[in-house]
Amino acid sequence: MEYFLLGYQQFLEQITASWQLFIESFNLISAVDILLVAGLLYWLWSKIKKSTLTRLLPSFFVLLVAILLSKFLGFVALFYVLIFLFLSLLLAMILIHNQDIQKIVESSIAPGDTKNKIRPLDHHELNNFIRDLTDTVISLSRSKTPGLLIIKTTKPLDRLIDNGTALRTEFNRDFVVDIFSHRSKLAMGAIVIDSGTIVSVGSTLTASSPKKFAFSLSNNVLKQVALHWEAIVIITYKDADYVSLLHEDNSYSKLAPSSLERVLKTILISK
């Protein structure tokens, strides 16, 4: 019993000595060091908060706290074992989540480039895209299928992409018609298109998801997208076979399908 009491007393003395040493050595540099670490952790969290890496955060946090405590209390063997476990977990994370880590690294080296790394269309490709887009919209309007397509012109549409399901696929008429015809959850928002590439589906265009997102010219969000983002907004309806189109402050409320290609060429080729 006396042996355990003696050990307990030495343990308390070790804690007191470690704390005293910390207080005596704490200065402006230590404060800046803590702030830099806090800033680094915040930056890291901002990069991984939308990825699957967040599942590993509790394990990393517990290990880091345990490592700091073992170092602070002088538990040398425990300290090295925890360091080994930490490195093992870090290696496992790199192997399992290498794609997420690659995206984080790419976005850190070239911010904004990863989402906008889409090759612009040449003149021939642009004409083909306009033709395919026109045929798709005409199919939706003739079948009276409500649809909403947002086409990028000059300004990046990153925020609109983030408010939907992001993807990267070449524009395809059957895919677009299939999305809106089945009235799935993805059909409740807009399809966002950049340089002939579908970059997002089901986008509500805003951070909040309304219970019912109106596909109509009365929707103020669509007007803002056309005006502020300078995007082309194309709307088809379930009770009419005409098309509505918005771009900047221009509005075509009842555009005949036969005139759609001409309007699209005027906007996209001259931009």
User: What is the rounded average pLDDT of the residues 12-40?
Assistant: 71
Angle in degrees, 0-180, between the axes of helices 173-181 and 123-142, rounded to the nearest 10? 30
Q: Which residue has the higher pLDDT, 253 or 21?
A: 253
Q: Identify the pLDDT of residue 137.
A: 96
pLDDT tens digit string along 211-227? 677 888 888 999 999 99
Asked whether the beta carbons of 144 and 240 are under 8 A apart, the reply is yes
Q: Which residue has the higher pLDDT, 19 or 68?
A: 68
Percentage of residues of the chain with pLDDT beyond 90:
35
pLDDT tens digit string along 66-103? 888 887 777 788 888 888 888 888 887 777 767 667 66
The model's confidence at residue 27, banded by pLDDT at 50, 70 and 90, is confident
Asked whether the beta carbons of 159 and 231 are under 8 A apart, the reply is no
Phi-psi region of 230 (alpha: psi -120 to 50; beta: other; left: phi over 0): left
pLDDT tens digit string along 180-203? 998 778 888 999 999 999 999 999
| Residue 195 DSSP symbol | T
All domains in the chain, ordered by first residue: 2-111 (no CATH), 123-268 (3.40.1700.10)
pLDDT tens digit string along 105-115? 666 655 554 44
How far is 197 from 168, CA to CA, in rounded Å? 7
Q: Identify the pLDDT of residue 185.
A: 81
pLDDT tens digit string along 133-186? 999 999 999 999 999 999 999 999 988 998 899 989 999 999 999 999 987 788
How far is 117 from 59, CA to CA, in rounded Å? 34
Q: Identify the pLDDT of residue 60.
A: 78
- Residue 249, phi then psi, degrees to nearest 5: -100, 15
Q: What is the pTM of this model?
A: 0.58
